[in-house]
Amino acid sequence: MKVVLIEDQAMFRDFLKKICREHLHLKVVGEAGDAATGLALCRKHKPDLVLLDLNLPDRDGLSISDELLAMDPAMRVLALSSECDDYTLYRVLNSGVHGYVDKNRQSMEMLKLAISEVLKGRVFFAEVVQQVRQKLRVQPKSFPKLLTGREQELLPLLGGGLSNEEVARELSISRYTVQLHRRNIMQKLNLHRTPDLIRYAVNRGFAKLNSFRDRTAGPP
């Protein structure tokens, strides 16, 4: 069985390689620290399994999962991340990946089990994924029930502190359209001020607090 590792942390990538080669007797045919290199390796080697980090320097890991599966529908993809917020795990559940491992909490034995299960054609999702799935299902005002897909796409930008003009330039749409989306999102979520919107987006994983701080810090 051939494996490609797409993971930007060299130490964790070495750990994955050790598990694959020494414990599971798999052939690691390629390693990448970014999405572009990882996609190229997968096109070249057509691996049976891709271990895919969701936090890559050039692209969001989930954004390339569709491309990987389009290369070869038989390819298996196991997502790896330390992000366990509601929005990330909601996206995981609605993507085509075959499993998710929490890098912070899973033991080596659990990681070996996840890889083995996915290679056998099954799925493996860490317990935290099941917990978020249940929470979003039972909460009457969870974001998937209130916001459209387009509104969910805009919330990371709006919640990251971007102005209507900045979002409009980013998405090549009109400022008026962004303003309308902002108003609808805030009404649906019962939010009244921009700081409330930012706080909501950060708490649920739509936006990262560090990114917002970088934007508002100004020059040194």
* Rounded Cα–Cα distance for residues 29 and 79 (Å): 18
Locate the domains of the chain by residue range. Answer: 2-136, 143-213
Q: Are 204 and 155 spatial neighbours (Cβ–Cβ below 8 Å)?
A: no
Query: 209 pLDDT band (50/70/90 cuts)?
Result: low
* Rounded Cα–Cα distance for residues 43 and 92 (Å): 23
CATH architecture of the domain formed by 2-136:
3-Layer(aba) Sandwich (3.40)
The phi-psi region of residue 13 (left if phi > 0; otherwise alpha if psi is between -120 and 50; otherwise beta) is: alpha
| Equal CATH topology for 2-136 and 143-213 | no
Task: Report pLDDT digits (tens) over 35-61.
Answer: 999 999 999 999 999 999 999 999 989
CATH node for 143-213: 1.10.10.10
Q: Are 187 and 141 spatial neighbours (Cβ–Cβ below 8 Å)?
A: no
Stated pTM of the model: 0.86
Q: Percent of the chain beyond pLDDT 70?
A: 95
One-letter amino acid of 127: E
